[in-house]
């Protein structure tokens, strides 16, 4: 390690005094002007991780659905998955080290993780469309070069595209070609093969309005348009030419505010969807003839995909284990529908994509979506191999056709991470194949009315939870109080959990009517305020 170069370059990316940041599920997120030293140091860390694993590592500069003035950075592991938890700790240590300790921290990481500094390193870099992203990705490159790493800068890409390309590179092209063209070709080919089997291919035009959150999704969807068949007509809104990223638009805005984004005119019963700022989340929605807004969130997306996959799996007659993975935020009626009507096992895990992804890997076919629209489908190696074998060798027509459709789904879904573009194409294909309108999809089940609230507390760590965050262990008496409140309402449940990023406690409540869900959420928020050290004035109804 060239300590002189490290000292010289890190002085060009100084750490602001007193700033301390934590690497979480989404990597680092903060105001863009606070991140220069962090992204430089993540360039260093990516080189160390690459040398430790003898594989290409990804670095994405994005803050997803955060406001435009924020930014962030996260690392991508070799198969396109999120950074290993043990290295999240190294990331936090490195980001918070004082200038004079930097070399010592790098050396300690090398010792702890058995990094051989003489090995080669390769890093793929991507960034979103924020004004600050270009300069920050240049700082990443400085970090990579100080430790002698090689890099490929893909420039402007969606987060899932970078995950895809890292996976392609490390599977020696088995997953696909590590280029944007490779991504577009793989997805469009699988999509066209799938919709060929729909009854109205040819004369049946499929219109979809897409709100791209004024972000990277607009650029990449436009690039992909020439790859689509004529009957798919995507109309792109909030393309970033006029308004700010994520401002009054995007998947997060639509889900939280339960209303359509600005910049998109909706006619009754038109299918519309929204991406988030880095295009790894998607939600659908429409307005009915009475002008009422209907949101189709991640729970309903998971349900649609599960119905389709379950039918195909029944036709191939293999003993594949399928399950859906949700968090406590999943609507109670979605869980009921999956378990009781569809007879698909449902598993609940802690909030955070890494927990969902990890659990979904336990099954032959694991469907996971967060209610916010982030999700995908994972196929086990054994299931994928068997399905591809059936396509080649199966004599029975029905079995072979079903296997062929499953193979196309495997190629269309981005198994590395939730991907708005890929998920959108899977949904569009299923709706076409099943001849479903957006209203029929929505009518599978009615969401239970619910309410999300948050309460400011002096220290979020006073709340400890168990049972996939559905029950509070501490402070004493809180869970008993929640249980008593829940008993007052029909079809009700409520839970509280500490935020991962700020001193607030998040509250979720659902019940048979909106009025009751609101009342229950408010009563639980008062209990949290009084028993868990609330700050400021008590919550008002």
501 is in an annotated binding site: yes
Q: Which residues are known to be catalytic?
A: 64
Q: Is residue 408 annotated as involved in ligand binding?
A: no
CA distance 316 to 313: 5
Could you tell me which of 158, 189, 195, 193 has the C-alpha nearest to residue 176? 189
**372 assigned ligand-binding residue:** yes
Q: Which residues of 126-147 are buried (b: 16+ CB within 10 A; e: fewer)?
A: bbbbbebbeebbbbbbbbbebb
Is 211 assigned a ligand-binding role in the annotation? Answer: no
Q: Please check if 276 is assigned to a binding site.
A: yes
First to last CA, the chain: 59
Residue 64 marked in a binding site? yes
Tokens 């339960």, residue located: 258
Q: Is 419 annotated as a binding residue?
A: no
Q: Six-digit token pair at 258? A: 């339960």
| Residue 206: φ, ψ to 5° | -115, 105
Q: Would you give the distance in Å from CA 161 to the centre of its chain?
A: 13
User: Does 56 belong to an annotated binding site?
Assistant: no
Nearest to 374 by CA among 64, 2, 32, 127: 64
- Cα–Cα nearest to 390, from 402, 377, 379, 378: 402
Burial zone of 292 (CB within 10 Å; 0-12 exposed, 13-18 middle, 19+ buried): exposed
Contact 499, 506 (CB under 8 A): yes
Beta strands 272-275; 206-211: pairing state: parallel
Q: Is 435 annotated as a binding residue?
A: no
513 is in an annotated binding site: no
One-character DSSP codes across 34-80: G-HHHHHHHHHHHHHHHHHHTSEEEEEE--TTS-TTEEEEEEE-TTS
Radius of gyration, alpha carbons of the chain: 24
Q: What are the angstrom distances between the C-alpha of 59 and each of 45, 52, 218?
A: 10, 16, 21
Q: What is the dihedral of CA 185, 412, 239, 272, to 10 degrees?
A: 140
Annotated binding-site residue? 498: yes
Which of 350, 381, 376 shows the shortest CA–CA distance to 81? 376
Q: Which of 195, 197, 171, 198 is nearest to 182 (CA)?
A: 171
The answer to whether 223 and 193 are in contact (CB under 8 A) is: no
| CA–CA dist 94, 458 (Å, integer) | 28
Does 108 belong to an annotated binding site? no
281 labelled ligand-binding: no
Annotated binding-site ranges: 64, 276, 278, 280, 370-372, 497-501, 506
Annotated binding-site ranges for substrate: 370-372, 497-501, 506
Annotated binding-site ranges for Mg(2+): 64, 276, 278, 280
């Amino acid at each position: 390690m060239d300590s002189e170069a490290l000292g010289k370059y890190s002085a060009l990316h100084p750490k602001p005094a007193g700033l301390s940041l934590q690497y979480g599920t989404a990597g680092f997120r903060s105001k863009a002007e606070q991140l220069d030293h962090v992204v430089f140091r993540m360039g260093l860390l990516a080189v160390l991780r690459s040398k430790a694993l003898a594989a290409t590592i990804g670095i994405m500069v994005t803050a997803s659905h955060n406001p435009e003035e924020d930014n962030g950075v996260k690392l991508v592991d070799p198969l396109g998955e999120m950074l290993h938890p043990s290295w999240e700790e190294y990331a936090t240590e490195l980001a918070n080290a004082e200038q004079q300790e930097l070399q010592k921290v790098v050396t300690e990481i090398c010792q702890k993780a058995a990094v051989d500094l003489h090995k080669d390193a390769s890093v793929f870099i991507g960034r979103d469309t924020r004004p600050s992203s270009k300069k920050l990705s240049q700082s990443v490159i400085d970090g990579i070069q100080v430790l002698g790493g090689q890099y490929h800068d893909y420039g402007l890409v969606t987060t899932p595209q970078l995950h895809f390309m890292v996976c392609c590179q490390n599977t020696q092209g088995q997953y696909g070609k590590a280029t944007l063209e490779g991504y577009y070709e793989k997805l469009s080919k699988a999509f066209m093969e799938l919709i060929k089997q729909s009854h109205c291919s040819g004369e049946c035009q499929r219109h979809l309005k897409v709100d791209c959150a004024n972000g990277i999704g607009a650029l990449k969807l436009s690039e992909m348009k020439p790859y689509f068949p004529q009957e798919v007509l995507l109309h792109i809104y909030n393309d970033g030419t006029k308004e700010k990223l994520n401002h009054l638009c995007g998947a997060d805005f639509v889900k939280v505010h339960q209303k359509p984004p600005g910049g998109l005119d909706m006619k009754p019963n038109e299918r519309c969807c929204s991406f988030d700022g880095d295009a790894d989340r998607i939600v659908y929605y429409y307005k009915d003839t009475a002008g009422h807004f209907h949101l189709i969130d991640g729970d309903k997306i998971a349900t649609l995909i599960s119905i389709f996959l379950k039918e195909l799996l029944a036709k191939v007659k293999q003993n594949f284990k399928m399950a859906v993975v949700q968090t406590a935020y999943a609507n109670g009626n979605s869980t009921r529908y999956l378990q009781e009507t569809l007879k698909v096992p449902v598993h609940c895990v802690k909030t955070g994509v890494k927990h969902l992804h990890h659990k979904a890997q336990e099954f032959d076919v694991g469907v996971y979506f967060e209610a916010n629209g982030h999700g995908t489908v994972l196929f086990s190696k054994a299931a994928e191999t068997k399905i591809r074998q059936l396509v080649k060798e199966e004599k029975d027509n029905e079995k072979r056709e079903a296997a062929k459709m499953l193979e196309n789904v495997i190629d269309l879904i981005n198994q590395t991470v939730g991907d708005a573009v890929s998920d959108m194409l899977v949904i569009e294909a299923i709706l076409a194949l099943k001849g479903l309108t957006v209203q029929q999809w929505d009518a599978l089940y009615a969401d239970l009315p619910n309410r999300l609230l948050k309460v400011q507390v002096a220290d979020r760590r006073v709340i400890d939870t168990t049972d996939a965050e559905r029950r509070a262990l501490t402070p004493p008496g809180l869970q008993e109080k929640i249980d008593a409140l829940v008993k007052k309402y029909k079809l009700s449940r409520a839970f509280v959990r500490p935020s991962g990023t700020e001193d607030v406690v998040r509250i979720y409540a659902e019940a048979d009517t909106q009025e009751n869900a609101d009342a229950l959420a408010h009563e639980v928020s008062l209990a949290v305020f009084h028993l868990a050290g609330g700050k400021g004035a008590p919550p008002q109804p």
